[in-house]
């Protein structure tokens, strides 16, 4: 791992864990001292985190940890849904490799098993991993480096990733029903891709993102659940949500 990537990952972890608070100023010297790293990789790491949207440049120099509004998070989720919808359409219209579709079906079966009632903590953890992999395979199925690159930029934001609110969702009374709907989306989009139904595949992934937006609303009403969301402390508002 390069020094820059190491600094980037370590600083991101500090931000998402709440060790660095929204609005806190991050200068190259202070971050380098905190990470025990040299200033050159720290400078590059801060620039990359600014591209991801986790920090923002200050006019006086340095960077500050960004806070996110409810609307910004909704926009990020919506953008992911739009891009993943386009990826699903491409996969259907271009014809996804059978091996990839088989892998996506295997992941759906794994998620079914992980969420069989009563859902355990270990089951939810496995669901999160399988769900993230399913979305990655969907992007692979599109066969477009351009689309994959843009989706990668969007899901780098903590709240826009496919699994951002899944762990917090486990505490919801309607958790089983929400997961059942998500799984139906997963099954239906693979079916649509197999049958070369581009428009249907696109619409399904857009609807799938709307489910994430609903989960966001549920989670923001409960501070205990919000603590389960990586980077939940970066959300500006919560009393009005």
The per-residue pLDDT of the chain, averaged, comes to 87
The enclosing domain of 42 has a CATH number of 1.10.10.10
Are residues 35 and 135 located together in one domain of the fold? no
Are residues 134 and 219 located together in one domain of the fold? yes
Instruction: Return the pLDDT at 240.
Output: 40
Are residues 45 and 94 located together in one domain of the fold? no
Which helix (H) or strand (E) segment is 64 a member of?
strand 63-65
pLDDT tens digits along 72-102: 888 989 999 999 999 999 999 999 999 999 9
Instruction: Return the pLDDT at 32.
Output: 94
Q: In angstroms, how far is CA 95 from the centroid of its own chain?
A: 26
Are residues 74 and 59 located together in one domain of the fold? no
Structure-token match 């919801």, residue found: 172
Cα–Cα distance list, 96 to 4, 149, 185 (Å): 35, 18, 18
Are residues 79 and 58 located together in one domain of the fold? no
Are residues 33 and 100 located together in one domain of the fold? no
Q: In angstroms, how far is CA 149 from the centroid of its own chain?
A: 14
Looking at the structure of the chain, the number of domains it has is: 2
pTM listed for this prediction: 0.82
pLDDT tens digits along 126-184: 998 999 999 999 999 999 999 999 999 888 877 788 877 666 666 566 667 888 899 99
Ramachandran region of residue 202, left (φ > 0), alpha (ψ -120 to 50) or beta?
alpha
Domain that holds residue 30: 3-65
Are residues 77 and 132 located together in one domain of the fold? yes
| Dihedral Cα 225, 121, 207, 136, nearest 10 deg | 120
Instruction: Return the pLDDT at 169.
Output: 62
Structure-token match 């919506």, residue found: 78
């Amino acid at each position: 791992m390069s020094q820059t990537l190491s600094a980037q990952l370590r600083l991101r972890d500090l931000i998402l864990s709440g060790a660095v608070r929204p609005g806190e100023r991050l200068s190259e010297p202070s971050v380098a001292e905190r990470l025990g790293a040299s200033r050159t990789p720290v400078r590059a790491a801060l620039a990359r985190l600014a591209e991801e949207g986790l920090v923002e440049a200050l006019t006086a120099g340095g960077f500050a940890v960004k806070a996110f509004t409810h609307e910004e998070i909704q926009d990020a989720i919506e953008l992911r849904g739009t891009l993943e919808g386009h990826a699903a359409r491409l996969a259907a219209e271009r014809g996804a490799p059978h091996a990839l579709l088989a892998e996506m079906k295997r992941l759906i079966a794994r998620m079914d098993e992980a969420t069989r009632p009563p859902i355990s903590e270990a089951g939810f953890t496995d669901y999160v991993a399988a769900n993230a992999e399913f979305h990655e395979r969907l992007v692979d199925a599109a066969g477009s480096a351009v689309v994959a690159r843009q989706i990668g930029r969007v899901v780098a934001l903590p709240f826009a990733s496919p699994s951002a609110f899944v762990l917090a969702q486990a505490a919801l009374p309607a958790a089983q029903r929400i997961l059942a709907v998500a799984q139906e989306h997963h099954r239906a989009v693979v079916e649509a891709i197999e049958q070369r139904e581009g428009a249907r595949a696109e619409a399904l992934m857009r609807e799938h993102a709307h489910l994430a937006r609903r989960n966001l609303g549920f989670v923001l009403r409960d501070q205990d659940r919000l603590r389960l969301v990586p980077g939940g402390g970066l959300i500006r508002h919560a009393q009005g949500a």
